[in-house]
Amino acid sequence: MNFQLTDQQLSIQNITRQLAQTELLPTVLKDDEEGKFPEKAYAKMGQMGLIGLPFPKEYGGQGADYLSYVLAVEEISKVNSSVGIAYSVCTSLFSGGLINSASEELKKKYLPDVLSGKKMGAFCLTEPEAGSDAAGCKTTALWDGEAYVLNGLKCFITNGPLADYFLVFALTDPEKKTKGLSAFVVEKAMPGVSVGTIENKCGIRSAQVSEIIFENVRVPKENMVGEEGRGFAVAMKDLDGGRIGVAAQGLGIAKGAYDIALQYLKDRQQFGKPLFKNQYLTFKMAELSVQIEQAQYMLYKAAMDKQEGRSYSISAAKAKMVCTDAAMQVSQEAVQMLGGNGYMKEYHVERMMRDAKITQIYEGTNEIQKLVISGSLFR
């Protein structure tokens, strides 16, 4: 097995790293403090082709492989994981959902502007009573003879306030529960769509997360994604890809925090010598280095499974779990190793620690990932 990245993958990795350093790093502390999303930087990502990396050129994508996209999310998340998750939601969940299941008409109508960064997409599954249990969905889309009439409230929607288009899951036959769930592309401009509460969060503070409210929204039949009653299958397949994106976000956080701690141990003097001369700290860094590399290989394996057409549901669940656990562990240890400085905002690692926590929760908590993995062991 070849563990070396291709020239194209290395080029994408380097270009994204440079963009993160020049466009995201200068404002990341202010964006976090103010809860502001760097829209100009995101638009530039679209202009550079990053948003559409893994998708066919006929829909406005770049035709690159999925691992290249994972590398890009990772590099962005090393610096600003709020942008990393906005990127992942738009590419993995919204655009990936359309690529997987939508008609050619929907793909050609919505994807070019989203993949170029001119428009933004969001994924609307979670509700107040439907988090890990998607079967608790109460949003309805009932056919009235001319259109589907959409009513309900979605919560914790990443990109919600900024998105132009939503991939929405609603019950077209409420009596059938998950077998009556269908998926639709809904435009924010459609009458009856509104943004509810914008969340004030612990971490990923510059990511825009909100409620999205649907009140008698008339959705054309042609905006259905996949077949009626197949929405649950659309969502689950979509989330498998999304978990790879969140894993890349987690790995980026872990690597970003590790790099800061490594440099700090080289530069900081205590008791007349650099901190790395303390064996306990170097052993801790060795452990974290191994944890990061293990997570990296599991993530890249999941990405390769997806791009080569193999089943990737289990490998995505494993990657999501280990990469986000690494994000939490490494960022916590980085704060500890930097001591009082680690708790100060200008050193970045306290922000990374706050950002890391949510990666263990969204797109399926890590406990849900264990259910997925263990379920595959005892079939």
Among all residues, which ones are annotated catalytic?
A: 363
Segment (H or E) for 183: strand 181-187
Residue bearing tokens 């109460």: 138
Integer-rounded Cα radius of gyration of the chain: 21
Cα→Cα distances 40→83, 191, 310, 311, Å: 11, 28, 37, 37
CB 185 within 8 A of CB 143: no
Angle 249-81-117 (CA atoms, 0-180°, nearest 5)?
A: 95
Give the separation between CA 360 and CA 317, rounded to whole angstroms.
11
Give the separation between CA 41 and CA 290, rounded to whole angstroms.
33
Give the separation between CA 73 and CA 243, rounded to whole angstroms.
12
Angle 197-203-208 (CA atoms, 0-180°, nearest 5)?
A: 40
Give the separation between CA 335 and CA 169, rounded to whole angstroms.
40
